[in-house]
Amino acid sequence: MDIRAFQDLIEAIYFERDKGRGLEGTHMWFCEEVGELTRALRRGQQDELEGEFADVFAWLSTLASMSNIDLTAAVEKKYGKGCPRCLATPCSCA
């Protein structure tokens, strides 16, 4: 599944509920998920990481949709030519 398809799927599943909660409330849920990911990383809970990464990406997608941002376009615009500062791949910034 590509980024656009994932963002569309998350919109179909959750957008109305998240829109009702608002950007601030949804951002708080996103931060909670980032915290869960952080905890799994710190504790070396490899079995938990896949789900936590997926949750963080889902909440990020929702925030982007609520902000009228197409994640595919945003990623392509910022990173499509390599590092945003030096334009190299891999990055050659000091």
94 in a domain, yes or no? no
In a domain, residue 44? The reply is: yes
Report the domain count for the chain. Answer: 1
Of 76, 55, 59, give the one whose Cα is nearest residue 21: 59
Say which CATH number the domain at 24 has: 1.10.287.1080
Is the residue at 42 inside a domain? yes
Q: Which two tokens stand for residue 27?
A: 């951002």
* Structural domain that includes position 71: 3-79
Q: Residues near 31 by Cβ (< 8 Å), separated by ≥ 6?
A: none
pTM of the model: 0.92
Model confidence over 61-84: pLDDT tens digits? 999 999 999 999 999 999 999 999
Question: 87 in a domain, yes or no?
Answer: no
Percent of the chain with pLDDT over 70: 100
Q: Left if phi > 0, otherwise alpha if psi is -120 to 50, otherwise beta: which for 68?
A: left
Q: Is residue 22 part of a domain?
A: yes
Token pair listed for 18: 């998240």
User: 85 CB contacts (<8 Å, ≥6 apart)?
Assistant: 91, 93
